[in-house]
Amino acid sequence: MAAPDIQAEPTAAVPSTATPASLASRLKHAAVEIGFDLVGISAAVAPDGLSRLREWLAAGNAGEMAYIQRRLDAYADPARVLPEVRSVVMLATNYRTRDPLPLPAGAGRVSRYAWGERDYHDVLRERTRRLADVLHAERPDCRTRCIVDSAPLLERDFARRAGLGWFGKNTMLINKRLGSWFFLSALLTDVELPPDAPHDTAHCGTCTRCLEACPTDAFDAPGRLDARKCISYLTIELRGRPIPESLRSPLGDWAFGCDVCQDVCPWNTKAPVSGDPAFAPAAERDRVDLADLLSLTDEEFATRHRGTPLERPGRDGLLQNACIVAGNTGGPDALPLLERAARESSSAVREAAAWAERELRRRHADCAADAGFETHDVSRPGPTDVTAGLPSPGIGNGD
């Protein structure tokens, strides 16, 4: 986690005589000039979704994300993030660029938010600091803290209170103009600013496309996500622990993250394309080449992905994902790659490679049988079967 980004300017500057309302207006105009697409202000009160968060955690839906439970008390009060906080300035940044291109053979799909050259955390942190500078120029004695996924703050709750959107049935915050293709960041301050009207009305109606489209059936009900089944969690947050076997085939070609529940949302079909160069798709960042990924050493992986979102799951996590994608979509040419992965030090990678090899051989046998060719018994362990001696894959929550 990044160190607290708290700013307190020297008191020598002359404070502005701007009223709270005019100061809020000045901040909103500055936010747009800096590059934010939406800005709203909420009072620094207890978040509305705290009880839902507690219920969600009690049901085990956080999976291996134990840090959420550890910081539960801090989520209850934004003053635990910035003492004497009075206002939360919520900021949204559109990251929708082009639509995904057809995926070539031998590649795994990457979620849209990771297509840029830089990690969005770094981009938004810089911009939020610039907005904090505007506030410090007006109120030299004020204190601020910039938040980009780095503190126990329920950003979506405060964004709804600040009028930026409503909670969709897929738990995403949705805005009528931007859909849900936007990042959230926050500027906390001890300056009391007039809050905006909360967004109290949902506009999903009877639509359930996001719930029905989820490949792993991760939604228990509208607005209730079991992270343990979510492809984004499985491919990013599980951090190299074995992905349950029952969820491997539904992963399909997703090697990092998942956009399915957002892709099918009608509000996202109307969302504008961002012209922000910070999020312009870098060359082939919308995919990973499975052969290339499976051949990277630890050092090469660190060099290639340092400072990008793909660094988060680590090499073992991405290699496990790559093996599963190869098992779901690959052909016989993927077998040598899987044989190499079967010699990795990570048991999760080795087990995923063994599973993928079995899937490829089974699919090859089925295709041959459909074509009328005689085949050998591929269910019998062959020379590259590496499951002997390995522990059984973990199924469920950390088993």
Active site residues: 149
> Which is nearest to 349 in space by CA: 298, 309, 304, 274?
298
Report how far apart, in Å, the C-alpha atoms of 330 and of each of 32, 66, 253, 254, 338 are: 45, 34, 10, 13, 10
Strands across the sheet containing 87-94 = 6-8, 143-147, 182-189, 87-94, 38-43
Tell me, letter by letter, the H, E, C secondary structure of the chain: CCCCCEEECCCCCCCCCCCHHHHHHHHHHHHHHHCCCEEEEEECCCCCCHHHHHHHHHCCCCCCCHHHHHCHHHHCCHHHCCCCCCEEEEEEEECCCCCCCCCCCCEEEECHHHCCCCCHHHHHHHHHHHHHHHHHHHCCCCEEEEECCCCCCCHHHHHHHCCCCEECCCCCEEECCCECCEEEEEEEECCCCCCCCCCCCCCCCCCCHHHHHCCCCCEEECCEECHHHCHHHHHHHCCCCCCCHHHCHHHCCEEECCCHHHHCCHHHHCCCCCCCHHHCCCCCCCEEEHHHHHHCCHHHHHHHHCCCHHHCCHHHHHHHHHHHHHHHHCCHHHHHHHHHHCCCCCHHHHHHHHHHHHHHHHHHHHHHHHCCCCCCCCCCCCCCCCCCCCCCCCCCCCC
Question: How many whole angstroms from its chain centre is CA 119?
Answer: 12
